[in-house]
Amino acid sequence: MKHTPLLLLYFLTVLNTSLFAQEELCQGPYFTEEQGRTFLQSQVPKSLADWQSRSKLVKDRVLDGMELRSMPARPTSVPIIHSRREMDGYTVENVAFESMPGIYVTGNLYRPAQKLKSYAVILSPHGHGPDMRFHEQTQKRCGTLARMGAIVFAPDMIGQGDSKQCEHKLSKALKLQTINNIRALDFLLALPSVDPERVAVVGESGGGTQTFVLTALDPRVKVAAPTVMVSSYFFGGCTCESGMPIHKKGEFQTNNVEIAALAAPRPMLLISDGGDWTKNTPQVEYPHIQNIYTLYNAKDKVSNVHLANEKHDFGPNKRAAMYPFMAKYLKLDEKQVDESRVQVLDRKVLAVFDEAHPRPANALQGDEAVLGVL
């Protein structure tokens, strides 16, 4: 009985810490549209030095909130690459590699069929939906970018496709997917004849969040195209986007526009539409980011394509807007843009793990085991 006060104090501390952490999460439409607009107006930098000071605070919050001040050691295991298929102007292979011991990133690697002196590389994370790696919009964009001369990797979101070691809504999904994406860049940049000055990330929706978060944290990314995601008032509706306190700590507050602006002065394309939380991009988010690029004398390196009559997807018109942007900054062959030449393959063909290629024996299984290494 004499230990009861200590036990009570312990449990109250845990409860208060948990409640405080929850208060610091900014999820979904955390701001109203007007609050998002007003917040950005309050954060307009007066000079480059002003922005550099602010940007350090923003980046620090993302790193601290994601518990990523230091990266886990990179595994030394050899990537698994199999089932190469010759397509029209490109090839497709099924890939898995460790991001941490026992954690495997899975996806498809698209390469140009034509031998080039050097290759641009593109990481292309997908948005939410049932196994989006296998969907037409993902295969069309990756195949087309490969035909244009880039090596493209399309990874699974955790909990989807072949990445079934934990549930997608893992409490630290944001941390895990960011580590996976950093290791995906390691994988891509280790491939033969890759040009480290031509590295891009492009993804939609939740993949758009992955795009601007990775670009903010990893200077190896030279070009970014976050699609239908950068919003002043919407903070991402999934654990993998806003399940950790990367936007708020005590009195400090930021939003996804400021995180996306950490890309400056690297080329960035914002693709937005009238049917989701990017509906105000031409009037709100884009001018704010453009102002930051202007401080670097790089106003022309950020652009916005707004499709007012479209909805939340990475449909043909959005992909058509992305291809010339990538061609320009990655020195790709825009003449090869012809999505009709890309064959949509069955998921059984693109599966990484099957009877002939079983999941590695050391692969961790279950949320508890995965959280244990995080």
Model confidence pLDDT, tens digit, residues 189-235: 999 999 999 999 999 999 999 999 999 999 999 999 999 999 999 99
The C-alpha atoms of residue 5 and residue 324 are separated, in whole angstroms, by 66
Neighbours of 47 (CB within 10 A): 9
Residue 1: pLDDT over 60: no
Q: How many angstroms from the chain centroid is the CA of residue 294?
A: 25
Residue 21: its pLDDT value, please? 56
Closest CA to 319 of 178, 203, 147, 149: 203
CB 107 within 8 A of CB 183: no
Neighbours of 67 (CB within 10 A): 13
Model confidence pLDDT, tens digit, residues 155-193: 999 999 999 999 999 999 999 999 999 999 999 999 999
Out of 11-15, 82-86, 128-132, the most confident range is 82-86
Q: Which residue has the tokens 């989006």?
A: 132
Domains and CATH numbers, the chain: 80-350 (3.40.50.1820)
Residue 23: its pLDDT value, please? 82
Counting Cα atoms < 13 Å in the Cβ hemisphere of 166 gives 25
Residue 274: pLDDT over 80: yes
Residue 240: pLDDT over 70: yes
Q: What is the mean pLDDT of the chain?
A: 94
Residue 9: pLDDT over 60: no
Give me 11's structure tokens. 């449990």
CB 177 within 8 A of CB 190: no
Determine phi and psi for 53, rounding to 5 degrees: -65, -45
Which amino acid is residue 117, in one-letter code? K
Strand, coil or helix: 175: helix
Q: Which residue has the tokens 């790089």?
A: 298
Task: Tell me whether the omega of the peptide bond preceding residue 265 falls within 30 degrees of 0, making it cis.
Answer: yes
Closest CA to 305 of 295, 316, 294, 297: 316
Residue 179: its pLDDT value, please? 98
pTM for the predicted model, two decimal places: 0.93
The C-alpha atoms of residue 107 and residue 351 are separated, in whole angstroms, by 8
Q: What is the DSSP string of 273-315?
A: ETTSTTTTTTTTHHHHHHHHHHHTT-GGGEEEEEETT--SS--
Residue 130: pLDDT over 90: no
